[in-house]
Amino acid sequence: MSDPSTKEQRDIQQELTLLRKEVSYHNQRYHQEDSPEITDDQFDQLFNRLLQLEAKFPELVTPDSPSQRVGASPLSTLEKVVHATPMLSLEKVNDEKELRGFEERIIKRLSSSANLTFHCEPKIDGLAVSLRYKNRQLVQAATRGNGSVGEDITHNVKTINDIPLQLPDSAPDGDLEVRGEIYMSRSGFDLMNSQLASQGVKTFVNPRNAAAGTIRQLDARITAKRPLKFFSYGLGDSGFAHLSSALKKLENWGFPLNPLVKLCDDSAACLHYIHELLVQRDQLDYEIDGVVIKVDSLATQRLLGFNARTPRWAIAFKFPAEEVVTVINSVEFQVGRTGIVTPVARLQPVFVGGVTVSNATLHNMDEINRLQIQLGDKIILRRAGDVIPKIIAVAPDNKNGNPESIIPPTACPSCGGLVIKDTESVYLRCYQGMACPAQLIQSVLHFAGRAAMDIDGLGSKLVEQLVESGLLKGLPDLYKLELDDLMVLERMGKKSSENLLEAIALSKTRGLANFIFALGIPEVGEATAIALAKHFGSLIGLQKASTEILLEIEDIGAVVAQRIVDYFSSSKNQELLQQFQSVGVQPVPPVVLSPSKAVLGGQTWVLTGTLESMERNQAKTLLEALGAKVSGSVSAKTSVVVAGPGAGSKLDKANDLGITILNEEALRGLFKEHGLIS
Catalytic residue numbers read 123
SS3 at position 313: coil
Contact (Cβ atoms closer than 8 angstroms) between residue 317 and residue 339: no
Q: Which is nearer to ligand IVH, 93 or 314 (CB)?
A: 314
What residues contact residue 66 under an 8 Å CB cut-off, 6+ apart?
20, 23, 24, 27, 47, 50
Q: Which is nearer to ligand IVH, 121 or 296 (CB)?
A: 121
How many residues at the interface with ligand IVH, by CB under 6 A? Answer: 15
Contact (Cβ atoms closer than 8 angstroms) between residue 149 and residue 83: yes
Q: Which is nearer to ligand IVH, 103 or 121 (CB)?
A: 121
Nearest distance from C-beta of residue 182 to ligand IVH, angstroms: 9
Q: Which is nearer to ligand IVH, 179 or 421 (CB)?
A: 179
Nearest distance from C-beta of residue 266 to ligand IVH, angstroms: 20
Q: What is the CA radius of gyration of the chain?
A: 32
- What is the DSSP-derived secondary structure letter of residue 118? E
Binding test (CB under 6 A) with ligand IVH, winner from 316, 381, 518, 529: 316
Binding test (CB under 6 A) with ligand IVH, winner from 89, 509, 538, 581: 89
Task: Tell me: does residue 177 bind ligand IVH (CB under 6 A).
Answer: no
* Residue length of the chain: 678
Task: Tell me: does residue 176 bind ligand IVH (CB under 6 A).
Answer: no
For ligand IVH, which residue has the nearest CB? 128
Q: Using alpha carbons, select from 324, 329, 344, 332 the residue that is nearest to residue 404.
A: 329
Largest CA distance in the chain: 107
Q: What is the DSSP string of 211-227?
A: HHHHHT-S-HHHHHTS-
Cα–Cα distances (Å) from 479 to 119, 438, 515, in that order, read 64, 20, 14
Q: What is the DSSP string of 569-621?
A: H-HHHHHHHHHHHHTT--PBPPPPPPGGG-TTTT-EEEEES--SSS-HHHHHH
What are the strands, taking DSSP E only, across 223-313?
Answer: 228-235, 262-264, 288-295
Q: Which is nearer to ligand IVH, 183 or 515 (CB)?
A: 183
Stretch of 35-43, 87-95, 222-230, 319-327 contacting ligand IVH, by CB under 6 A: 87-95
Q: How far is CA 436 from the centre of its chain?
A: 36
Task: Tell me: does residue 668 bind ligand IVH (CB under 6 A).
Answer: no
Task: Tell me: does residue 90 bind ligand IVH (CB under 6 A).
Answer: yes
Q: Which is nearer to ligand IVH, 313 or 567 (CB)?
A: 313
Tell me, residue by residue from 114 to 153, as one string, x for binding to ligand IVH by CB under 6 A and - for no binding.
-------x-xx---x---------------x---------
Task: Tell me: does residue 205 bind ligand IVH (CB under 6 A).
Answer: no
Q: Which is nearer to ligand IVH, 128 or 341 (CB)?
A: 128
Nearest distance from C-beta of residue 294 to ligand IVH, angstroms: 7
Nearest distance from C-beta of residue 411 to ligand IVH, angstroms: 52
Nearest distance from C-beta of residue 145 to ligand IVH, angstroms: 11
Nearest distance from C-beta of residue 125 to ligand IVH, angstroms: 7
Nearest distance from C-beta of residue 272 to ligand IVH, angstroms: 18
Nearest distance from C-beta of residue 496 to ligand IVH, angstroms: 55
- Identity of the amino acid at 303: L
What does the alpha-carbon distance between residue 416 and residue 122 come to, in Å, rounded to a whole number? Answer: 53
- What is the DSSP-derived secondary structure letter of residue 29? I
Task: Tell me: does residue 88 bind ligand IVH (CB under 6 A).
Answer: yes
Task: Tell me: does residue 357 bind ligand IVH (CB under 6 A).
Answer: no
Residues 253-312 within binding reach of ligand IVH (CB under 6 A) = 292, 311
Cα–Cα distances (Å) from 60 to 16, 17, 22, 155, 178, in that order, read 8, 10, 17, 21, 28
Q: Which is nearer to ligand IVH, 88 or 607 (CB)?
A: 88
Helix, strand, coil shares of the chain, percent, nearest 5, are 40, 20, 40
- What is the DSSP-derived secondary structure letter of residue 67? G
Binding test (CB under 6 A) with ligand IVH, winner from 141, 314, 512, 606: 314
Q: Which residues bind ligand IVH (CB under 6 A)?
A: 88-90, 121, 123-124, 128, 144, 181, 233-234, 292, 311, 314, 316
